[in-house]
Structure 1
């Protein structure tokens, strides 16, 4: 419970510090992208704090390129 609250408070502090300057400088797209990344990172941090099983993106890349790698190594024999 406490780690989740700490993560939310830190994310709120980051948003309160960064977002007003982005809105004032007419950087609406940047502010929206920043908010998306902050929410995504906050969600992942909260999931990790709750010890959820988060898949590793490198496993997906290895799964996609494994057949190509096997074919290349097989053709070199």
Structure 2
């Protein structure tokens, strides 16, 4: 099952890249082509991972991890002066 899903996703990804990347390179938009390629590789990898029924953590956990210390600091500032 892993090979079939991976093959389908990779075939679609290569087809889309073959259609889009030459246009960007022909117009000399190298920076855009690099960003497109990086995002395309990340998106393809995520599609393969989720397509093979692997569990990915929610992106919300990253936001909580980043903003929890800030929230705690702000809450502490307001509770002390109250």
TM range (shorter): 0.7 to 0.9
How many residues in Structure 1 have an aligned counterpart in Structure 2? 77
Partner of 2:16: 14
Specify which of 30, 33, 43 is matched with residue 41 of structure 1.
Answer: 43
Normalised by the size of structure 1, how large is the TM-score?
Answer: 0.80
| Whole-Å separation in 2 of the counterparts to 1:35 and 1:68 | 34
Runs ≥4 in structure 1, deviation > 6 angstroms?
none
1:52 deviates by: 1.8
State the TM-score, normalized to the length of structure 2.
0.76
Unaligned regions of 5+ residues in structure 2, if any? Answer: none
Unpaired runs of 5+ in structure 1? none
RMSD: 2.1
1:52 alignment counterpart: 54
- Using CA pairs below 8 Å that are at least 6 residues apart, which structure has the higher relative contact order? 2
Relative to structure 1, is the Cα distance of residues 67 and 26 closer, same or farther in structure 2, using a 3 angstrom cutoff?
A: closer
